[in-house]
Structure 1
């Protein structure tokens, strides 16, 4: 018999927005996430968005009246609140740039190219990261994303 685990994975990532409808459209159009559900909870709207990976954490947009874009202050510099894996980081970077997304840190390599990343802001100013590394697991894509 094995011991029980306290936690097994991250369940959701929460991202604030002052306009849930605009943010849903932004994430669907620019990041190609899928809207799974939208509902009211404790007096505000929430939207559940899904990534294509079979075991990916869901992203929940939470509507709020307070405009406070999220970023981490790391040694005096802005640092993203989350990183999203890109199987082809050049494609992801160029697609976002072509779509007019606010790229705030250009595509950067680490080490001898084992990892690459860039920073960008969503439509509400939340700082996000596109990331790729040689250590990323092979993606298992959900069937509904393949059609």
Structure 2
């Protein structure tokens, strides 16, 4: 019944951020509105919206103490190449880390918004192929 349609990111300089997201994430402009712009990813149905704000807004939440988590992540096939891509383009990143076979790192947009990049782990219940099986099973029981 529900799907994630768009994810919105607060930005303080819409013009600068539009260029940054297009160049570094490869998003394509759909349209603009007063104070915002919408994009699509060439390989994903989820859209991205940039919304002009007066001052930076938090795009992460605190788990415990100083440990924070971004609201969503980007999925890549080659995490080493993604990390190198950002480093070649002078984007602030964390080091690549690993947990349970999954590799991940964070990067930051011009407003300091943090985003995680992850690779999928084969046989993980969170791998998109495994999730697709759950979806198909659910649909067949609804039938």
Normalised by the size of structure 1, how large is the TM-score? 0.77
Q: Equivalent residue for 2:99?
A: 110
Q: State whether residues 70 and 125 of structure 1, in contact with CA within 8 Å, keep that contact through their aligned partners in structure 2.
A: no
Q: Distance between the aligned counterparts of 1:109 and 1:66, measured in 2?
A: 33
Which of 13-22 and 69-78 deviates more?
69-78
Q: Distance between the aligned counterparts of 1:110 and 1:136, measured in 2?
A: 18
Deviation >4 Å, runs of 4+: none
Q: Distance between the aligned counterparts of 2:120 and 2:56, measured in 1?
A: 33
Q: Equivalent residue for 2:107?
A: 120
Match status 1:80 vs 2:74: no
Q: Which string of whole-angstrom CA distances, capped at 9 and with x for unpartnered residues, describes residues 16-36 of structure 1?
A: 011101001111111111112
The answer to which structure has the higher helix fraction is: 2
TM-superposed CA distance for 1:69, in Å, is 3.8
In the TM superposition, what are the counterparts of 1:39-78 in structure 2 within 5 Å?
39-40=33-34, 45-53=35-43, 55-76=44-65, 77-78=67-68
Compared with structure 1, are the counterparts of its residues 136 and 99 closer, same or farther at alpha carbon in structure 2 (3 Å cutoff)?
farther
Q: Which string of whole-angstrom CA distances, capped at 9 and with x for unpartnered residues, describes residues 41-68 of structure 1?
A: xxxx111111121x42101000111322
In the TM superposition, what are the counterparts of 1:86-101 in structure 2 within 5 Å?
86-101=76-91
Normalised by the size of structure 2, how large is the TM-score? 0.79
The number of residues matched between the two structures is: 123
Compared with structure 1, are the counterparts of its residues 136 and 87 closer, same or farther at alpha carbon in structure 2 (3 Å cutoff)?
farther
Question: Which structure is richer in relative contact order (CA contacts within 8 A, separation 6 or more)?
Answer: 1
Q: Distance between the aligned counterparts of 1:89 and 1:34, measured in 2?
A: 22
